[in-house]
Structure 1
């Protein structure tokens, strides 16, 4: 750990010397961390699935709520990562330190706000999403417990974002991964041994996230293991730094909120077909994570690398790095998509033994896997914009995909033309196709503009 002290500048030199290697240095720890988290989500769903279809549906209704909270945190975290990376690239450590302090304070305020809102409006939120009867009761039982963990989770994301900005993705992997393993151990104890059911699953999550936060605090403030340092006694609010973080973070957060709200609308649309349909969607959503795992990890590397290269005035490295990353993401998308298509029934059977739910999940998987190559391109391109210090393109692309295409199309096909669940899944795929084409074109034009600006400056 001590070797990490002062390592931010050394990482920049390494990344400039070998950008392709840097993609994997940054993305592999993220990939491993997401793999552990995905494994937990799958195991968690399997455990809850043993409690019955209503419990599965209750957990599914909670998924977009958690995604909403974490989406805001990850969005603001992306802003912090981008800003810190650009300051380190420009050799401005004072501003990098100040940006890290801003990031933690924003995370603290955001976490407190979400806990308060969740505790006060828990029943109204689930009712709005379409939960009723036993599903509403179980969903509330889960939500009112897991909500207290939002503060811990959001602060953990803030710490991870700061470390990501200086090019350290290994430490967050170790700390977050250990928490996930604790969660996996506590799940069966609380759910079955102590007979707590869905509340036990929520409590296991809260305890594990609290332990992760304690380890982050110890590493950053006691061991001082980060390149950026925190000096809260001398903290000076900076409108410039705050605006720089929000320029990327606010649109990124709104994008994640739109995706979360979109998920809520999807649940609402699908709930018209019954609790089995919602449970099938939940299983499909958990399996989606196996695709998003490597693609998001590769895309995350672009925020740090593009940010550092811009700060260091090495824009000549950006285009080749982005192209390399997109092609590798496509390989993952195609391989995973084919595997999902072939083994969909077997994968769905991991979560439940109810044939109706399995059939619905298989239908979802076999449609959405066809969109994986298009979604991969859009995800990587969105992170490139964040690295460049611009969050609006990602927001506009997300709005187009969900607000203007996917949700309206799914609603129209099912409620006005009487089509079934397959129409909802097809709406997902169509929206991914259109936005990926636009994303590639937009990134190409934006990079060309950046290259021209640098060329004019040097001339």
Structure 2
């Protein structure tokens, strides 16, 4: 290939084990910083009182839709680019990047145009009343109006990941989260903008991050993909290839919100509001513990995508299985730590007099729930592999199987039907997730075997 290869592309085309580790590390760091920002942002908003917290909470479902679409398109674009990189087809990699941006910008503009005029009606319908309507509409106008920037930022990050440049993707994530943490108290309190200030802090930080991405992609132009809209030609096949992964990825994220909604209904039935408090607190801890897994998943998607594009199924298999082994080792270590430190972790959420009475229940919940965590890599990384090879519908099916079908079914069986109460819910979450992980992993292995037979490739090549 005549084109000069970047370090990220050389990583993608090299040893799959090293590639998974090298690509995952920066994403784990970036996502941990973003998780820290989410906590800090909540603390600053909490200082404004319960009405401000309620306003942000009411906007959350709308924000989830925007983020799900944005990150889904980022995954779709990343997958398409990595496959073209693996196939050594730079022209099509450039096309995939350009089409991802065009589709994303159109969706971002459409989201703003269709929802912005009706924000007050939307939140009134959801249930906002009085002062809270005013607060949530003011907050939403900023972020919905800037939806195109939020979408662009996610897509640009996906383009960098697709060509193996996770280090710069990490730098952008850290810049955005760090700037947001600095701007929050300034906008909210110093400038007396209150809850609207939190929205402006978020949008401003995303704008700065987007400006950095624009500099890398269009000014400095030292990325592998070269995006030139002057020669852009619409390719319906390319758009379908991107959306085949992107749309299911978006729906997969939304399905997790649906799963939590179903879980909350069952928890309220058997454990009341205290049960919700216990689940919410335990879930925050467990989700933070799974951040490394999501970073590994991004690496697996890129590596398996490049291997699939190169028609090297043995290399794909090595990257997929190594990702699972690494994910299992990391999550088992985290699960063990959470089990041991459950009393100390519980204290973070139950130190006040009003919450102290749920401390014992939270410790029990952590020590039960933590054991589904080591099984998650088998399903999550199978989903990542499916995304890498362009089978987004399979990835969506894996997520729905885990979150909606198995988890909900086992929770209902043990918690309600067999009458074990909230303990049965914990059992259901563990057994449902582990069962789904086993089924998903078997499906992933079968898929790789079929790909190997179809390709006729026998040997694993290191390049």
- TM-score under structure 2 normalisation? 0.85
CA contact (8 A) 1:70 1:154 kept: yes
Q: Which residue of 2 aligns with 1:331?
A: 329
Distance in structure 2 (CA, Å) of the matches to 1:88 and 1:125:
43
Provide the secondary structure at the position in 2 that maps to 1:81: helix
User: Paired residue for 2:250, among 237, 253, 269?
Assistant: 253
Gaps of 5+ in 1: none
CA-CA distance at 1:297 after TM superposition: 0.6
Superposed counterparts of 1:431-442, under 5 Å: 431-442=432-443
Indicate yes or no: 2:154 matched with 1:157: yes
Could you tell me whether the CA contact under 8 Å between 2:314 and 2:458 is conserved in 1?
no
Distance 2:105 2:265 in 1: 31
1:396 maps to 2:424: no
Take 1:412 and 1:137, find their aligned partners in 2: how far apart are those partners?
A: 43
In 1, Cα distance between equivalents of 2:144 and 2:282: 24
Contact 2:120 2:137 in 1 (8 A): yes
CA shift, 1:57, in A, is: 5.7
Q: Is the 8 A contact 1:68 1:260 kept in 2?
A: no
Select 1:320's aligned residue among 318, 323, 331. 318
Tell me if structure 2 keeps the 8 A contact 1:179–1:211: yes
Shift of residue 240, structure 1, vs aligned partner: 1.8
In the alignment, which residue of structure 1 is the partner of 2:112? 115
Pairwise mapping of residues 13-162 of structure 1 onto structure 2 (< 5 A)? 13-51=10-48, 56=53, 59-120=56-117, 122=119, 142-162=139-159
In the other structure, the counterpart of 1:368 is: 369
Matched, 1:207 2:204: yes
The question of whether the paired residues in 2 share the 8 Å contact of 1:337 and 1:372 is answered with yes
Q: 1:293 aligns with which of 291, 294, 299?
A: 291
| 1:343-358 mapped onto 2 (5 Å cutoff) | 343-347=341-345, 349-350=347-348, 353-357=351-355
Please say if 1:443 is aligned against 2:444: yes
> 1:401, 1:199 → 2: CA distance?
37
CA deviation after TM superposition for structure 1 residue 370, in Å: 2.2
TM-score if structure 1 supplies the norm length?
0.85
- Work out the number of aligned pairs and report it: 453
- 1 CA distance for matches of 2:125 and 2:262? 10
Structure 2 unmatched ranges of 5 or more? none
Higher mean alpha-carbon deviation, 271-280 vs 82-91, is at 271-280
